């Protein structure tokens, strides 16, 4: 609906309050736009002195002139001829609208400018809402492009493609040609064509139209049916979009669609045949399909389809390198998987294991106790009343272990059993799991764990283990920290043995069970220095979330470095008796691979966990960011700024509208209407965490229009996730409607629909958000209006990434020599952001030499890696100074590699841009062979004249080696 502010000309006042605009109007055709413009509305005219004046603007009935009043000028001067308009700009795109802090007084989407005349003057306007702006911009652009004679829509003489199709739907429901159908049948037809629409809304619309035409209570005739369908089923935001790209007022042809799919949706290699296939697939009318036309209904179906889903379909399958060490992946992990609810009142159930495994879980916890008749049982804390037989738990795990993922499953055994029942556990595991059980001892010569690819179809047992050279049938080990904490709080116990502040209890362990622990041997964590010196790659430490948080805050670099080689498991503090969840991002940023979640507890934290693991085919494994995997690299978990060697990206999100938003479950408010608003959240490293919210939309809960834009800087895209949350702005307390969480790397650019999920994770049928996504420094559609980070900086203001001093003379001399190529690399990359093609050519011609200098410096620096500790000690560095030198060295290596990679990527993009310019030149007749004007001709703009030389200078090989 369009909140306009239009009034009948005869009755309107000279001044109308900007805040009182009660009328709603649906923009579902070009005719509606023209009618609205002819009726007119109040807008604010912005002058060059930054003052704003309320004026009433309207389009003349002959569509030749735009007029405004009141004005001190003669009425004949307070007008603008349509044919003199050169351009209509959306947003604050002129100096007048950007000047003197004026732009802070109104949102970008409420402003537009009309550029007119031979001197390119501007008429700068501010409307009451984005809908009013969209109507004027679309209408004026249409008149400028096609002229008033092409409109022919105010009084159409021929039925449109759409009207004919709707009529055919009516005729199918009226086989006896009675000329009318009953209300129920008419409602069902529209409901069938738009499944998310409420029947009560459809019936109400029919009754309104019948009453307006004095035929209330009679059957629904063709005219009323067509009018009701057009009003109910035309989404104005999609209609505006169609007209913007259409070369015809009613539909997109294959060339229009090619432009939209390529420019806005960022699809590479678009062909006419691909677009014709879209028409065949989504256009409902036979006439449209036969002629290759995509009408507003077909366009709406296309935008709602999986082809315009916000989630990149490539990530629906395993798409990451699965041949790296196990420690290089985040692993989807469950805590207390047997529980249905919280720790104290929740009962245990086998279905909880099945649910977790089907959701992609690859690390399951099984807490085992002594049972009757020497049969071990599984339960957690005080859920003794609902014990599960250990053999049945293992049987269910065996049955569903690899249903959703073929990659290894880690079974975390927390054993409280006596030695005889441990032997029974071992027998069950070997008998039930058979060949799936991984029993090969670790390779002592390796430095890292095997890869998920190598461990496909295997179940790894995590637990305590006897020394490898032990020949006894049983021995004593310290009990698993997590298991001891739980049993101590549950049953009481002494704290005589202490290790690193954690109470330890001795446990007798039988060799049969110990021998099943191969690649995930549980050991106690002492400190990072001890682990670096003594821990084996097949040993794993578990951290209480409190301790893990302390390490993350006090030793962020050490924690990240530790997790490059070793697996670490973080489990919730036992104080979370309600089974609430910790924020997994707090530990993923430190590189912790296994962050155990209470799957039975829905909410933000589980949304983040489940959304995050979608990005690799939901196989339970996600490759960690390169900067957190490479042996020599610097990364701090608490980084609050851009990172060395990582290109920050700017994410632009425009929340346009919502579709079929349901009433929150259990809502106390009366009626069906919701008043929604949306939070857009970024979760990632501290520098990236942010949230912004839209306004609340009242009285239109079914299909609210938000039309608000947000911007976020993403410093580490590989660890960022985007979350949309829709809430009902209720008087008593805001209530949850739906959410969707998506990793940043899975975002597709352009106009996209976002499916919403309920609190418990089920997708809400036909419930979506319509958004526009643009990402700078990434190929794809939806180029951002504002360049943001990409605005060119002068040399003096430009920030250069530099190396740090280590305090080791020979090393510092090496890195100092790389200062100049680092500056050159930055200049080459940032100069091209001016959009001048000559800078593109300079980048392509110079990149190889600079890239070579950077990689040579990196390789020379890596030669010191093995001996750096010894060289530093020889030069008198020790303790914290030596540690700082090691960190600075890792920073420098990261900077050199990162800047080289960025330059390589920039060269590839520059070459691609030049190719696109060259193709565009051929298409426009500006290329050398097809140009009718000489290259030096002043009639051609500078960019066009430069195109004559691009083809000759474009290199054959643009790949850096």
Q: 267: domain CATH number?
A: 1.10.238.10
Give the DSSP letter of residue 495: -
DSSP 726-758: EEE--SS--EEEEEEEEEGGGBPPEEEEEEEE-
Integer Cα distance of 759 and 762 in angstroms: 8
**208/256 same-domain check:** yes
What's the pLDDT score for residue 645? 67
Integer Cα distance of 431 and 423 in angstroms: 12
Q: In this structure, what token pair is assigned to residue 287? A: 């006439």
Look up the CATH number of the domain holding residue 48: 2.30.29.30
**What integer is the mean pLDDT of 455-483?**
84
Residue 72 has pLDDT above 80, yes or no: no
What distance separates the 2 farthest-apart alpha carbons in the chain? 107
**437/368 same-domain check:** yes
Q: Are 137 and 112 within 8 A, CB to CB?
A: yes
Q: Are 239 and 251 within 8 A, CB to CB?
A: no
Task: Name the pLDDT band for 306 (thresholds 50, 70, 90).
Answer: very high
C-alpha triplet 639, 641, 647: angle, nearest 5°? 105
**332/473 same-domain check:** yes
**What integer is the mean pLDDT of 390-415?**
95
Element at 487 (helix H, strand E): helix 481-491
Instruction: Please give the residue that has the higher pLDDT: either 635 or 121.
Output: 121
pLDDT digits over 636-682, tens only?
777 777 677 677 889 999 999 999 998 887 655 556 678 899 999 99
- Percent above pLDDT 70 for the chain: 80
Helix (H, G, I), strand (E, B) or coil at 931: coil
Closest C-alpha among 327, 330, 351 to residue 341: 351
Integer Cα distance of 80 and 284 in angstroms: 41
Residue 121 has pLDDT above 70, yes or no: yes
Integer Cα distance of 504 and 499 in angstroms: 7
Phi and psi torsions of 794, nearest 5°: -65, 165
What sign does the dihedral 731-734-737-740 (CA atoms) show? positive
User: What pairing do the DSSP bridges indicate for beta strands 621-623 and 41-46?
Assistant: unpaired
Q: Any residues with CB less than 8 A from the CB of 847 and at least 6 apart, and which? A: 828, 903, 904, 906, 907, 960
Integer Cα distance of 868 and 810 in angstroms: 11
Beta bridge partners of 680: 692, 724
Residue 487 has pLDDT above 60, yes or no: no
Q: Are 309 and 598 within 8 A, CB to CB?
A: no
Look up the CATH number of the domain holding residue 687: 2.60.40.150
Beta bridge partners of 721: 683, 743
Integer Cα distance of 434 and 424 in angstroms: 15
Task: Name the pLDDT band for 435 (thresholds 50, 70, 90).
Answer: very high
Q: In this structure, what token pair is assigned to residue 580? A: 């609430």
Q: In this structure, what token pair is assigned to residue 94? A: 């002129």
**132/175 same-domain check:** no
C-alpha triplet 77, 83, 86: angle, nearest 5°? 100
* 190-229 b/e (C-beta count within 10 Å ≥ 16 → b): bbebbebbeeeebbebbeebbeeeeeeeebbbbebbbbbb
Question: Does 880 map to a domain?
Answer: yes
Phi and psi torsions of 304, nearest 5°: -85, -10
Integer Cα distance of 687 and 712 in angstroms: 11
Q: Are 640 and 752 within 8 A, CB to CB?
A: no
* Average pLDDT, rounded, for the chain: 81
Question: Does 104 map to a domain?
Answer: yes
Closest C-alpha among 214, 298, 294 to residue 256: 294
Total domains, the chain = 5
What are the CB-based long-range contacts (under 8 Å, 24+) for 105-111? 107/708, 108/709, 108/785, 109/133, 109/707, 109/708, 109/709
**824/771 same-domain check:** no
What's the pLDDT score for residue 340? 61
Integer Cα distance of 270 and 570 in angstroms: 46
Q: Of 14-18, 442-446, 750-754, which range is least confident? A: 14-18
Helix 183-193 with 199-212: angle, nearest 10 deg: 130
Q: Of 21-35, 384-398, 788-802, which range is least confident? A: 788-802
Question: Does 556 map to a domain?
Answer: yes
User: What pairing do the DSSP bridges indicate for beta strands 388-389 and 750-757?
Assistant: unpaired
C-alpha triplet 134, 136, 138: angle, nearest 5°? 65
Give the DSSP letter of residue 440: P
Closest C-alpha among 787, 779, 781, 749 to residue 909: 779
Q: In this structure, what token pair is assigned to residue 547? A: 């301790």
| Residue in the structure block whose two tokens are 């008149």 | 143
pLDDT digits over 832-880, tens only?
665 556 777 788 888 888 888 888 888 888 888 777 878 888 888 877 7
Q: Of 307-316, 336-345, 939-948, which range is least confident? A: 939-948
Q: Are 694 and 655 within 8 A, CB to CB?
A: yes
**397/332 same-domain check:** yes
| Residue in the structure block whose two tokens are 């893990």 | 548
What's the pLDDT score for residue 214? 81
Q: Are 16 and 42 within 8 A, CB to CB?
A: yes
Integer Cα distance of 751 and 817 in angstroms: 47
Q: In this structure, what token pair is assigned to residue 887? A: 């960190």
Look up the CATH number of the domain holding residue 846: 1.20.58
pLDDT digits over 505-519, tens only?
788 899 999 999 999
Q: Are 630 and 898 within 8 A, CB to CB?
A: no
| Structural domain range at position 655 | 649-666+673-776
Q: Are 705 and 730 within 8 A, CB to CB?
A: no
- Most confident range (mean pLDDT) of 236-240, 715-719, 822-826, 900-904 is 715-719
Q: What is the 3-state secondary structure (H, E, C) of 109-137?
A: HHEEEEEECCCCEEEEEECCCHHHHHHHH
**135/47 same-domain check:** yes
Task: Name the pLDDT band for 95 (thresholds 50, 70, 90).
Answer: confident
pLDDT digits over 765-803, tens only?
999 999 999 987 643 333 333 333 333 334 444 567 778
Distance in Å from the first CA to the final CA of the chain: 56
Integer Cα distance of 120 and 117 in angstroms: 5
Q: Are 266 and 781 within 8 A, CB to CB?
A: yes
Question: Does 476 map to a domain?
Answer: yes
Instruction: Please give the residue that has the higher pLDDT: either 164 or 9.
Output: 164
Question: Does 454 map to a domain?
Answer: yes
Last residue of a domain, one of 91, 120, 146: 146
Residue 481 has pLDDT above 80, yes or no: no
What's the pLDDT score for residue 482? 58
Integer Cα distance of 612 and 718 in angstroms: 11
Question: Does 18 map to a domain?
Answer: no
Element at 691 (helix H, strand E): strand 690-693
Q: Are 115 and 214 within 8 A, CB to CB?
A: no
| Residue in the structure block whose two tokens are 């129920």 | 184
User: What pairing do the DSSP bridges indicate for beta strands 459-463 and 409-415?
Assistant: parallel
**What integer is the mean pLDDT of 474-481?**
78
What's the pLDDT score for residue 689? 93
Strand-by-strand arrangement of the 721-728 sheet: 690-693, 676-683, 721-728, 735-743, 750-757, 763-775, 649-659, 705-714
What's the pLDDT score for residue 319? 95
Closest C-alpha among 564, 536, 559, 534 to residue 632: 564
**138/185 same-domain check:** no
Helix (H, G, I), strand (E, B) or coil at 594: strand
What's the pLDDT score for residue 566? 95
Look up the CATH number of the domain holding residue 394: 3.20.20.190
Question: Does 23 map to a domain?
Answer: no
How many CA atoms lie less than 13 Å away from 181 in the CB half-sphere? 23
Model pTM score? 0.78
**238/365 same-domain check:** no
What sign does the dihedral 727-729-730-734 (CA atoms) show? positive
Last residue of a domain, one of 726, 751, 776: 776
**266/331 same-domain check:** no
**184/134 same-domain check:** no
Instruction: Please give the residue that has the higher pLDDT: either 413 or 843.
Output: 413
**568/657 same-domain check:** no
What sign does the dihedral 346-347-353-355 (CA atoms) show? negative
Task: Name the pLDDT band for 73 (thresholds 50, 70, 90).
Answer: low
Peptide bond into 70 cis (omega under 30): yes
Integer Cα distance of 91 and 615 in angstroms: 35
């Amino acid at each position: 609906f369009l909140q306009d502010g239009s009034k009948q000309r005869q009755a309107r006042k000279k001044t109308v309050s900007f805040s009182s605009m009660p009328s709603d109007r649906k923009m579902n055709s070009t005719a509606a736009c023209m009618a609205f413009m002819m009726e007119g509305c109040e807008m604010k005219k912005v002058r060059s002195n930054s003052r704003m004046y309320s004026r009433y603007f309207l389009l003349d009935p002959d569509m030749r002139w735009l007029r405004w009043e009141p004005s001190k000028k003669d009425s004949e001067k307070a007008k603008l001829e349509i044919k003199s308009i050169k351009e209509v700009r959306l947003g604050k795109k002129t100096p007048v609208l950007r000047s003197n802090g004026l732009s802070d007084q109104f949102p970008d989407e409420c402003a537009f400018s009309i550029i007119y005349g031979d001197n390119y003057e501007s008429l700068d306007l501010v409307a009451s809402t984005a809908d009013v702006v969209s109507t004027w911009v679309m209408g004026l652009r249409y008149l400028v492009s096609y002229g008033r004679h092409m409109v022919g829509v105010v009084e159409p003489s021929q039925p449109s493609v759409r009207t004919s199709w709707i009529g055919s739907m009516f005729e199918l429901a009226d086989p006896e040609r009675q000329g009318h159908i009953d209300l129920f049948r008419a409602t069902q037809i529209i409901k069938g064509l738009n499944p998310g629409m409420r029947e009560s809304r459809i019936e109400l619309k029919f009754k309104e139209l019948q009453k307006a035409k004095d035929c209330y209570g009679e059957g629904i005739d063709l005219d009323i049916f067509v009018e009701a369908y057009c009003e109910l089923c035309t989404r104005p935001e999609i209609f505006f979009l169609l007209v913007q790209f259409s070369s015809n007022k009613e539909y997109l042809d294959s060339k229009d669609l090619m432009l939209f799919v390529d420019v806005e949706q960022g699809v590479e290699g678009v062909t006419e045949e691909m677009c014709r296939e879209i028409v065949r697939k989504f256009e409902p009318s036979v006439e449209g399909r036969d002629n290759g036309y995509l009408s507003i209904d077909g366009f709406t179906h296309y935008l709602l389809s999986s082809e315009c889903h916000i989630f990149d379909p490539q990530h629906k399958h395993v798409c990451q390198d699965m041949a790296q060490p196990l420690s290089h992946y985040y692993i989807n992990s469950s805590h207390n998987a047997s529980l249905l609810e919280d720790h104290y009142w929740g009962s245990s159930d086998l279905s909880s294991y099945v649910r977790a495994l089907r959701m992609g879980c690859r690390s399951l916890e099984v807490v085992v106790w002594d049972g009757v008749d020497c049969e071990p049982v599984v339960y957690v804390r005080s859920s003794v009343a609902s014990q599960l037989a250990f053999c049945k738990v293992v049987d269910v795990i065996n049955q569903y272990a690899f249903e959703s993922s073929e990659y290894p499953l880690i079974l975390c055994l927390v054993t409280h059993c006596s030695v005889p029942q441990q032997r029974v556990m071992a027998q069950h595991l070997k008998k039930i799991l058979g060949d799936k059980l991984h029993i090969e001892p670790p390779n002592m010569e390796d430095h890292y764990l095997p890869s998920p690819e190598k461990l496909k179809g295997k179940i790894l047992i995590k637990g305590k283990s006897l020394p490898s050279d032990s020949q006894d049938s049983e021995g004593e080990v310290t009990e698993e920290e997590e298991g001891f904490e739980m049993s101590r709080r549950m049953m009481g116990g002494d704290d005589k043995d202490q290790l690193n502040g954690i109470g330890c209890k001795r446990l007798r362990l039988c060799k049969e069970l110990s021998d099943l622990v191969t690649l995930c041997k549980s050991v106690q964590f002492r400190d990072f220095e001890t682990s670096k010196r003594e821990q084996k790659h097949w040993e794993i430490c578990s951290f209480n979330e409190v301790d893990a948080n302390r390490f993350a805050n006090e030793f962020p670099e050490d924690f990240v470095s530790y997790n490059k080689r070793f697996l670490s498991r973080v489990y919730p503090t036992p104080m979370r008796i309600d089974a609430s969840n910790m924020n997994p991002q707090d530990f993923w940023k430190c590189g912790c691979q296994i962050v155990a979640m209470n799957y039975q507890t829905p909410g933000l934290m589980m949304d983040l966990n489940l959304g995050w693991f979608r990005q690799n085919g939901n196989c339970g494994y996600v490759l960690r960011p390169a900067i957190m995997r490479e042996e020599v690299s610097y990364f701090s978990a608490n980084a609050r700024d851009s990172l060395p060697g990582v290109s920050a990206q700017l994410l632009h999100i425009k929340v346009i509208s919502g579709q079929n938003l349901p009433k929150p479950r259990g809502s106390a408010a009366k009626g069906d209407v919701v008043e929604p608003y949306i939070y857009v959240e970024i979760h990632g490293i501290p520098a990236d965490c942010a949230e912004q919210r839209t306004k609340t939309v009242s009285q239109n809960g079914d299909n609210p229009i938000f039309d608000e834009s947000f911007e976020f800087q993403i410093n580490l895209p590989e660890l960022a996730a985007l979350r949309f949350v829709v809430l009902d702005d209720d008087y008593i307390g805001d209530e949850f409607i739906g959410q969707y969480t998506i990793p940043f790397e899975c975002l597709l650019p352009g106009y996209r629909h976002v499916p919403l999920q309920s609190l418990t994770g089920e997708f809400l049928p036909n419930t979506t958000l319509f958004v526009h996504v643009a990402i700078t420094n990434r190929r794809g559609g939806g180029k951002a209006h504002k360049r943001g980070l990409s605005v060119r900086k002068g040399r003096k203001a430009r920030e250069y990434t530099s190396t740090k001093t280590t305090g080791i003379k020979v090393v510092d001399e090496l890195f100092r020599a790389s200062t100049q190529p680092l500056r050159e690399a930055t200049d080459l990359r940032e100069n091209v952001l001016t959009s001048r093609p000559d800078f593109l050519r300079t980048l392509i011609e110079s990149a190889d030499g600079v890239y070579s200098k950077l990689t040579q410096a990196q390789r020379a620096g890596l030669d010191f890696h093995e001996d750096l500790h010894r060289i530093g000690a020889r030069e008198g560095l020790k303790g914290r100074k030596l540690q700082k030198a090691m960190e600075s060295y890792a920073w420098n290596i990261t900077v050199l590699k990162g800047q080289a990679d960025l330059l390589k990527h920039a060269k590839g993009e520059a070459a691609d841009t030049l190719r696109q310019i060259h193709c565009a030149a051929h298409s426009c007749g500006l290329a050398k062979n097809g140009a009718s004007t000489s290259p030096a001709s002043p009639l051609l703009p500078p960019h066009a004249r430069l195109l004559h030389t691009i083809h000759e200078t474009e290199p054959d090989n643009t790949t850096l080696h």
